[in-house]
Amino acid sequence: MYAAPLEESEWVEPLTSNEARLAPRPLTEEEKEHFVAHGWLRLTDCFTKEQADWVNQDVWTRLGMDPNDKSTWAQRTNMPCHRTFDASVFSPKAWSAINELCAGRQLHDSREWRDSLIVNLGSDEYEGKETHPHELDNWHVDGDFFVHYLDSPEQALLVIPIFSDISPGGGGTMICPEGIPKVARYLYDHPEGVSPRMIPRGHPDFEAEKTLDWFNTTARSCENFVEAHGKVGDVFLLHPLMLHSASRNPLRQLRIITNPPVFFREPQCFDRPDGDYSLVERVTLRALGKESLPGWKITRPREMRVPERIRIQQKMREEEKQRLQQAALTPPLAAEPPAAAA
């Protein structure tokens, strides 16, 4: 069994909707072909604004920021979680598509979505300024909690539910489909495993969380970028080797997403006798220009890690709890009394 490090949270029943447009459906052939060709897919109408508001509740209190005072805003905040809920109940359409892309091989734990919101508010420095993707310095692939191999089961998909409307230039995650073959080839060439920062085993910095240089350099060698913008209720499904980066949100609009991972039950297999590859596996093989990888296997044991992020978010969680408790104790401001009649 493979899963991310456990984070403290309360299991809750999510807000749901019975609207017909949210019902699960099979992916179309066009959607499957798009995912295999580009490594990403955007689904629409996966949940309602009311459901998103339920996830986003108390976001400004949790942040400790004033929505009307930009001087209190931090550019980006990766928030801790307080609530965990079942994705298959909250968004049956997204869950159905996740199953289809993974050929039904993901873990039950993959159903866990959390209110670990990722908020991008932009900054004074970049407000109103367009930034080329080559100038971004946050390129990475997800999975800071394990040593990476080409067949790693710990990250089967990167899922991005959109909990606030994202206009072009409004803080959408920047993705780099052109980078998938480069990441895939690097992992193919390192069956001994690399760190979450792509540092080869044996390098002095293999255990460190120091640099994103490999990712940033790789992204700057690419020209094909896509900004993941959309409406509340959209869900982006990305191949696990998709390079992506936070953007600088020059519009300074409130941008809220999360990125729940999906886990395979077993390592991916690129040499299936029956050729029954998941769509995720097919993207990897296509990126390598191969129909299968007979004989390829990892040469060192799989390793899990507890990233520094967990310690940081534990501290943030306690600070958020204090702000929420204080807000609950603070009575609302009294209305101004009506003016006396002249």
Cβ atoms within 10 Å, residue 140: 18
CA-closest candidate to residue 42, choices 54, 59, 30, 57: 30
Spell out the per-residue pLDDT of the chain, length 342, in tens.
455 555 678 999 999 999 999 999 999 999 999 999 999 999 999 999 999 999 999 999 999 999 999 999 999 999 999 999 999 999 999 999 999 999 987 665 689 999 999 999 999 999 999 999 999 999 999 999 999 999 999 999 999 999 999 999 999 999 999 999 999 999 999 999 999 999 999 999 999 998 999 999 999 999 999 999 999 999 999 999 999 999 999 999 999 999 998 999 899 999 999 999 999 999 999 999 999 999 999 999 999 999 999 999 999 999 999 999 999 987 765 444 444 443
**Partner residues linked to 237 by β-bridges:** 41, 159
Model-level pTM?
0.94
Domains of the chain: 10-322 (2.60.120)
* Distance between start and end Cα atoms, the chain: 76
Residue 156, CB-side half-sphere exposure with 13 Å CA sphere: 28
4: exposed, middle or buried (C-beta count within 10 Å: 0-12, 13-18, 19+)?
A: buried
Q: Considering only CA atoms, give the Rg of the chain.
A: 21
Dist. CA 260–CA 257, nearest whole Å:
10
**Distance in angstroms (rounded) separating the CA atoms of residues 256 and 121:** 9
Q: What is the Cα–Cα distance from 196 to 214, expressed in whole angstroms? A: 11
Contact (Cβ atoms closer than 8 angstroms) between residue 87 and residue 260: yes
